[in-house]
């Protein structure tokens, strides 16, 4: 094969090499993460505006003081300061999974926004689905009703998220090593 034919094949090889990664993100929106608010909440830039994005199927402790933190600590019978520390660890874990350039892909469910107008979706990072990774590593609980009964497009989520939570609990991973949260 001569040099000219190799040069002609170059663009074709690049296209074939990148095709699987392009195909895996079909139907997903590319968004820039501005900041991680909590383990289950991001601030993103989408369509030229900064918006809050809630991770569907995930519930992590709050990462800052708020009235909900005290109510939740009382309900769980746990020290509010400990719950806050758990929330900060969940936030740090989520930050560690987001690429330095801050780009993520988001897949929406049937409904894009919650009643407060926040975006809701499944976030994909380099290591996989952020929602599932948070649950698997013990930094969040599976929450399949937020804020209304959720019927995800992908049925596997209904079984996979609770399974990942049980596995994290049994292994005392992440926040589960402190007991319940």
CATH code, domain carrying 55: 2.40.50.90
Structural domain includes residue 137: yes
* 118-146 mean pLDDT: 90
Per DSSP bridges, beta strands 49-55 and 119-125 are parallel
Structural domain includes residue 9: no
Structural domain includes residue 53: yes
Nearest-CA neighbor of 83 among 94, 97, 68? Answer: 68
Give residue 120's pLDDT.
Answer: 92
Q: Does residue 147 carry a pLDDT above 90?
A: no
Range of the domain at 116: 26-174
Within a 13 Å sphere around the CA of 78, how many CA atoms are in the beta-carbon half? 19
Structural domain includes residue 115: yes
93 near 84, Cβ under 8 Å? no
Q: Does residue 17 carry a pLDDT above 70?
A: no
Strand segments (E) across the chain: 29-38, 41-46, 49-55, 58-59, 103-113, 119-125, 128-129, 141-142
Q: Does residue 105 carry a pLDDT above 90?
A: yes
Give residue 64's pLDDT.
Answer: 81
Number of domains forming the structure of the chain? 1
Q: What is the DSSP letter of 139?
A: S
- Show Cβ contacts of residue 13 under 8 Å, excluding neighbours closer than 6 positions: none
């Amino acid at each position: 094969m001569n040099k000219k034919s190799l040069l002609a094949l170059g663009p074709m090889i690049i296209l074939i090499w990148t095709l699987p990664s392009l195909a895996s993100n079909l139907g997903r929106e590319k968004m820039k993460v501005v900041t991680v608010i909590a383990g289950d909440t991001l601030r993103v830039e989408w369509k030229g505006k900064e918006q809050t994005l809630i991770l569907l199927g995930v519930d992590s402790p709050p990462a800052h003081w708020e009235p909900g933190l005290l109510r939740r600590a009382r309900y769980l019978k746990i020290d509010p300061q400990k719950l806050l520390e758990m929330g900060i660890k969940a936030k740090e874990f989520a930050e560690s999974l987001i690429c330095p350039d801050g780009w993520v892909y988001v897949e929406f469910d049937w409904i894009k926004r919650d009643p407060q107008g926040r975006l809701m979706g499944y976030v994909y990072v380099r290591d996989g689905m952020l929602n599932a990774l948070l649950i698997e590593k013990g930094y969040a609980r599976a929450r399949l009703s937020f804020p209304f009964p959720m019927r995800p497009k992908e049925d596997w989520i209904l079984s996979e998220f609770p399974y990942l939570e049980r596995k994290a609990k049994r292994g005392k991973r992440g926040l589960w090593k402190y007991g319940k949260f």
